[in-house]
Amino acid sequence: MQDTPPSVPDFTQWPSFPFEGDLHVKPLDEPVPVEPPRRGEGNRECTACNAPDEAYIWVGERWRVRAMDRPTGLPMVLILESRSHLDLGDLPNLLAAELGVMTVRLERAIRSLDGVARVHVNRWGDGSAHLHMWFLARPYGQLQLRGTFLSLWDSILPPISEAQWRENLAMVAAWLAEFGGRPLAEPPRIQWQAPSSLSAPSTTGVAEVPEEETASVIEAADEIPENEAAEGKLPAEEPDQPATPKPTDAGAPTGTANQTDGPAQAATPNQAGTPNQAGEPEQAGTPEQVAVPRQADAPQRARTSEQGETPKQATGSA
Give tens-digit pLDDT for 74-132: 999 999 999 999 999 999 999 999 999 999 999 999 999 999 999 999 999 999 999 99
Q: What is the pLDDT of residue 265?
A: 44
Round to whole Å and give the CA distance between 152 and 145: 9
Q: What is the pLDDT of residue 147?
A: 93
Q: At what angle do helices 162-177 and 93-111 cross, to 10 degrees?
A: 130
**Statement: residue 198 has pLDDT above 70:** no
Q: What is the pLDDT of residue 187?
A: 82
Instruction: Give the mean model confidence (pLDDT) for residues 178-198.
Output: 79
* Cα–Cα separations (whole angstroms), residue 25 to 6, 10, 109: 7, 12, 39
Give tens-digit pLDDT for 132-164: 999 999 999 999 999 999 999 999 999 999 999
Question: What kind of fold does domain 46-191+213-221 have according to CATH?
Answer: HIT family, subunit A (3.30.428)
Report domain extents, the chain: 46-191+213-221
Bigger pLDDT: 62 vs 299: 62
Give tens-digit pLDDT for 258-303: 444 444 444 444 444 444 444 444 444 444 444 444 444 444 444 4
Instruction: Give the mean model confidence (pLDDT) for residues 165-169.
Output: 96
Instruction: Give the mean model confidence (pLDDT) for residues 36-52.
Output: 93
Q: What is the pLDDT of residue 36?
A: 93
As to burial, measured by CB atoms within 10 angstroms (0-12 exposed, 13-18 middle, 19+ buried), residue 183 is: buried
Q: What does pTM read for this prediction?
A: 0.60
* Cα–Cα separations (whole angstroms), residue 26 to 13, 218, 283: 18, 28, 110
Q: What is the pLDDT of residue 37?
A: 93
Round to whole Å and give the CA distance between 35 and 215: 19
Q: What is the pLDDT of residue 189?
A: 75
Lowest mean pLDDT among 17-26, 120-129, 193-202, 294-303: 294-303
